[in-house]
Amino acid sequence: MNVLPNIKSAKKRVKVIATKTLQNQIFKSQLRTAIKKFLAAVKRYEKLYQSEFKGIEDSISFKAVPVKCPSKCIDIFDTQDLIDAVVGLPNGIVKMSTTMPGLVQTSTNLARVVSEKGKFNILCLLRSSVRSEKEALAQQKAEGVQRKLVGLKMIDRGIPRHGYKLANLDGEEIGCVTSGTRSPMLKVGIALGYVKTEYAAIGTTVAVVIRDRLLKMEVVKYPFV
């Protein structure tokens, strides 16, 4: 009896199972397991926070809800920038009372990240034991920040140092250096500093004031290497 056609047919069936049905079943099983673990983690964190905030915020709760799969997603670089922004937020005490030890005057706590029209807004809850401090924070949130922390790299020769003034090319003061040094890898002076938001875009040319001289620097993305 010729068994060759049967062998070919069996190999074809095995190939179909291996490339489609079986893989799909394995993926669905792994996905179900991952979802169960995620929901269990949400419940654990909910219990933990409810325990910590008992008597303070008894209504606190965590929820995981199904959503439609998005048609677009952000790339890996923007994803990392978003994560860095969330991690870098002042999530907790911002200012302690100078007159009453242990009294928190202002505090911000991360509330949620909202995506709208391709942009992300990170919204914070504002808390304070001093009303004027809370109002000041609320005003800053409404108006937006006036300065941003940026990376800076020397164009002219020079080494920026902590406390040096930053200026625009007309000599108007726009911020200050928070830390600076000469990079042995880049072989050029680099720094971190706060500048007015209109000078914070990558590629903007600003100046650092060293011995009453305006030395050019470029706003760059950090880490520098």
pLDDT at 2 (0 to 100): 41
Give, in degrees to the nearest 5, the angle at Cα 18 between 12 and 23.
150
Residue ranges per domain, the chain?
7-61, 76-143, 147-220
Least Cα distance to 192 among 181, 180, 182 occurs for 180
- Residue-by-residue pLDDT tens, the chain, 225 positions: 344 444 455 555 555 555 555 556 667 788 888 888 988 998 998 888 888 777 777 788 888 888 787 777 777 777 777 777 776 666 677 777 777 777 777 777 766 777 777 777 777 777 777 777 778 777 877 777 788 889 999 999 999 999 999 999 999 999 999 999 999 889 999 999 999 999 999 999 999 999 999 999 999 988 887
Phi and psi at residue 33, in whole multiples of 5°? -65, -45
Task: Write out the two tokens for 91.
Answer: 């999530």
The domain defined by 147-220 folds into: Elongation Factor Tu (Ef-tu); domain 3 (2.40.30)
pLDDT at 180 (0 to 100): 92
pLDDT at 5 (0 to 100): 47
Give, in degrees to the nearest 5, the angle at Cα 121 between 118 and 123.
160
Task: Write out the two tokens for 153.
Answer: 């790299």
CB contact burial 156-193 (16+ within 10 A = b; e otherwise): eebbbeeebbbbbeeeeebbbbeebeebeeeebbbbbb
pLDDT at 190 (0 to 100): 95
